[in-house]
Amino acid sequence: MKCYMCGTLVDHENVCPHCGSDLKIYRTILASSNTLYNTGLEQAQVRDLSGAIVSLKKSLKYNKYNTQARNLLGLVYFELGETVMALSEWVISKNLEPDNPLADRYLDEIQNTPGMLDKLNQTTKKYNQALLYCRQGSRDLATIQLRKVLNLNPKFVAGHQLLALLYIQDGKYNEARKELNATNKIDVRNTITLRYSREVREKLKELNQNKKKRKKDDLVSFQDGNDTIVMPSNSFRDMIDSTRASVVNILVGLVIGLLICFFLVIPTIRQRASENAAASLVDTNEQLTNSASNVSSLKKQVEDLNKELEQYTGKSDAVGSYEKLMEAKEAYDASNLDQAGEALSSVNRDLLEEKGQAMYDLIHTAVYAKVLEDAYNTAYQAYQRQDYQTAKDSFGQVVFIDQTYHNGDALFYLAECQWNTWEFDSAIENYQKVIEQYPDTSHARTAQERIDSYAQSNGGDDNTTNN
């Protein structure tokens, strides 16, 4: 046994020699889990599968790593026809204990049996469709669907029970008893089966009593001396004249024949036609379901192909980006930054690998440094010529790319150009940025003077207006 705290192997000690954890209660828990597993095993051997499920689930509550109990629980589910639940237990058992020969064997048998997984999938779909028919009140369609389910999986206990319930609702107690007997052979103590069986026995007993009562009513008795004579009542025949008995019998036979035809033959034909129509409807629904599945499968294939196409397109774009990057690199090495920038504009950085992105960033930084320098020089020359509009446009380009260029000179001169072109709101906004980002500088002091002058000018205008 392993210590639950540190995983150290211990023999019979009640205290872990490594970490000092108390193992008494832990041993009791493991013993309870093993006891419940043995109980579940005994119940499964006598086909008390419902009781075995309860015991094995309790065993796993005490010790979820009891893979023997989990493997047996999967077997019990599989015997009941609950294949999905069985597979779930075996997969969990395999994950908890990778070296698990029993779980490997069970999973391999299902996966390697030809058509097994498809049959299980069809069983689940048809059973769910039968449940839907039941909720919609279409008991005939549900009955047909359940027969198909049981043809695919004769041990599906839930299918037998649902079909028996439909038979009980339709008054077909003998058919219901057959389904319940089949269920009882699989699981002898299933409470649902036992409850349905008691219901069927009571109904059949009631029907038998009614039949005996009808037979008793058809008999007449009378005394002949000391003897009691019992014989069928033939009051109708006694009333007619013996000479006309043959004619009346013929007429009665014709009437009975017509009644039999009307009440037995025609309903049978209608029922058969209804069953055929229902079967056709079920087949049509299955075809529609399969068609929908095929459409979904085709859509998925189209999506996968589109993804592959996007990958190929991305690879093609990546090749083009690398070609343009090499052109930019050659121009950069030749100090032709204009040509390098033009080639770099056609490169998609996201398609480049790490080294390609590093080269892209290097060239990009150099190109934009040259662009910023040229734009700043052009703007400053225009500013000195008092061509404030041209200077404002060029300074605006520099600030848009790098607001901190030349330690904020570009931002300050942009504000100056805006001030001299009467764009006071924009100028004040940029002056504020200069003050916040570069305090205690000559530019900040000049900016503050501009703002104070603007505030005083606006205040004076307001006073003049008021006077």
Q: What is the pLDDT of residues 419-445, one digit of tens each?
A: 999 999 999 999 999 999 999 899 999
Of the listed ranges 21-30, 85-94, 197-206, the one predicted with least confidence: 21-30
Selected from 2.30.42.10, 1.25.40.10, 3.40.390.30, 1.10.1040.10, the CATH number assigned to the domain covering 374-466 reads: 1.25.40.10
Range of weakest confidence among 42-56, 94-108, 216-230: 216-230
Local structure of 187: helix, strand or coil = coil
Between CA 447 and CA 75 the distance in angstroms is 85
Signed CA dihedral, 92, 293, 81, 55: sign only: positive
Q: SS in 3 state form for 336-348?
A: CHHHHHHHHCCCC
Please state which architecture CATH assigns to domain 119-218: Alpha Horseshoe (1.25)
Quote the pLDDT of residue 441: 92
Per-residue model confidence (pLDDT) at position 312: 44
Sequence-distant (6+) residues with CB within 8 A of 388 are: 382, 416, 417, 420, 421
Q: Return phi, psi of residue 153, to 5°.
A: -140, 85
Q: 348 near 317, Cβ under 8 Å?
A: yes
Mean pLDDT along residues 198-214: 80
pLDDT score of 168: 92
Could you report the per-residue pLDDT of 150-181, keeping only the tens digit for each? 999 998 999 999 999 999 998 889 999 999 99
Q: What's the chain's length in residues?
A: 467
* 258-263 mean pLDDT: 74
* Spatial separation of the C-alpha atoms in residues 199 and 309, rounded to whole Å: 64
Is residue 465 pLDDT above 50, yes or no?
no
Helix, strand or coil, per DSSP, at residue 231: strand
* Mean pLDDT, residues 257-262: 76
CB 186 within 8 Å of CB 153: no
Distances (CA, A) of 379 to 35, 372, 376: 91, 10, 5
DSSP one-letter string for 270-286: HHHHHHHHHHHHHHHHH
Can you tell me the distance from the alpha carbon of 167 to that of 174, in angstroms, rounded to the nearest whole number? 9
What is the secondary structure of 73-102 as a DSSP string?
HHHHHHHTT-HHHHHHHHHHHHHH-SS-HH
Of 89 and 303, more confident: 89
Spatial neighbors of 123 by CB under 8 A, at least 6 apart, are 81, 83, 149, 152, 153, 156
349 close to 340: Cβ distance less than 8 angstroms: no
| pLDDT, the chain, mean | 81
Question: What CATH class is the domain 24-112?
Answer: mainly alpha
